[in-house]
């Protein structure tokens, strides 16, 4: 009984000093309900209340961040599982399948007039199309031409070097760059390496690709 009285005195003393219930529990190992009951009549100063409120906010923020990290980790694991299972659904592509994929990309991103052109900012897509031209049509990178589209404050030479390394198209095969002047529109989601246009001057090849597109469309037409 005496021990209980001593615990109560300690708890009330710490409370008058402005400690929160959680801080008191760290010093006096009793039930939180006991702390609440013993301290119910103790009034804190405004400064003490503000301090505890700040502590509560910090604790809540840390708890939310921890929960977010746990959820993020769990979600990353779920996404990785989905991706790993999805990858198993795709077998090694045949040359014919590569031909179809490239044709579909050209259908979406390629020029329909004035020779053969493919324009995009995605380096992986551009790499694929460079290989497509080479494997399907026997057109090596050094026979292609390239043009860039960048903003005025971007480094043209750096962008050319970047795309030359991606495509293996020699810098000497890069034509005039279109530079968008400053103040001609909003700069949202700036493409740091600009947009590249790959060109091959051949009307006959374009007619051939367009015929493939027509055949694919007629085959899948609902």
> Do 80 and 108 lie in a common domain?
no
List the pLDDT tens digit at each of the 222 positions of the chain: 666 888 888 888 888 898 888 888 888 888 988 988 999 889 998 998 888 898 889 888 888 888 888 878 888 889 899 999 999 999 999 999 999 999 999 999 999 988 999 999 999 999 999 999 999 999 999 999 999 999 988 899 999 999 999 999 999 999 999 998 876 555 555 678 999 999 999 999 999 999 999 999 988 765
Q: How far is CA 91 from CA 97, 144, 162, 180, in A?
A: 11, 30, 31, 42
Q: How far is CA 106 from CA 176, 213, 217, 222, in A?
A: 23, 9, 13, 21
User: What CATH number is associated with residue 118?
Assistant: 3.30.1330
> Do 213 and 116 lie in a common domain?
yes
> Do 11 and 117 lie in a common domain?
no
> Do 104 and 80 lie in a common domain?
no
Q: Give a yes or no: residue 157 inside a domain.
A: yes
As a whole number of angstroms, the distance between CA 177 and CA 195 comes to 10
Q: Which residues contact 216 (CB under 8 A, 6 or more apart)?
A: 100, 103, 104, 107
Q: Give a yes or no: residue 61 inside a domain.
A: yes
Domain residues for 80? 2-84
Last residue of some domain: 48, 63, 84? Answer: 84
Look at residue 1 in the predicted model and tell me its pLDDT: 63
> Do 128 and 61 lie in a common domain?
no
Q: Give a yes or no: residue 148 inside a domain.
A: yes
Q: Give a yes or no: residue 161 inside a domain.
A: yes
> Do 108 and 30 lie in a common domain?
no
Last residue of some domain: 17, 50, 84? Answer: 84
3-state helix, strand, coil in the chain (%, to 5): 60, 10, 25
Number of domains composing the chain: 2
Q: Give a yes or no: residue 90 inside a domain.
A: no
Last residue of some domain: 34, 59, 84? Answer: 84
Look at residue 66 in the predicted model and tell me its pLDDT: 84
Both structure tokens of 119 = 């324009």
> Do 80 and 10 lie in a common domain?
yes
Look at residue 188 in the predicted model and tell me its pLDDT: 55
As a whole number of angstroms, the distance between CA 130 and CA 143 comes to 11
As a whole number of angstroms, the distance between CA 119 and CA 121 comes to 7
Look at residue 21 in the predicted model and tell me its pLDDT: 86
Q: Give a yes or no: residue 13 inside a domain.
A: yes
Q: Give a yes or no: residue 89 inside a domain.
A: no
- Is the pTM of the predicted complex or chain greater than 0.85? no
């Amino acid at each position: 009984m005496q021990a209980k009285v001593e615990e109560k005195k300690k708890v009330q003393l710490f409370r008058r000093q402005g400690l929160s219930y959680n801080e008191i529990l760290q010093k006096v190992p009793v039930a939180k309900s006991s702390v609440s009951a013993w301290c119910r009549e103790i009034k804190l100063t405004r400064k003490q209340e503000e301090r505890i409120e700040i502590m509560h906010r910090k604790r809540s923020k840390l708890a939310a961040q921890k929960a977010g990290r746990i959820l993020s980790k769990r979600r990353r694991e779920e996404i990785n599982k989905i991706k790993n299972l999805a990858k198993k659904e795709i077998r090694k592509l045949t040359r014919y399948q590569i031909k179809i994929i490239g044709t579909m990309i050209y259908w979406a991103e390629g020029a329909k007039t004035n020779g053969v052109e493919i324009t995009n900012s995605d380096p992986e897509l551009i790499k694929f199309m460079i290989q497509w031209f080479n494997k399907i049509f026997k057109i090596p990178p050094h026979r292609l031409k390239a043009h860039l589209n960048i903003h005025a404050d971007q480094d043209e030479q750096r962008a050319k070097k970047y795309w030359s390394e991606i495509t293996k198209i020699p810098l000497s095969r890069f034509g005039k760059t279109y530079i968008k002047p400053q103040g001609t529109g909003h700069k949202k989601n700036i493409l740091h390496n600009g947009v590249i246009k790959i060109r091959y001057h051949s009307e006959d090849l374009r007619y051939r690709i367009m015929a493939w597109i027509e055949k694919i469309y007629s085959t899948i037409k609902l």
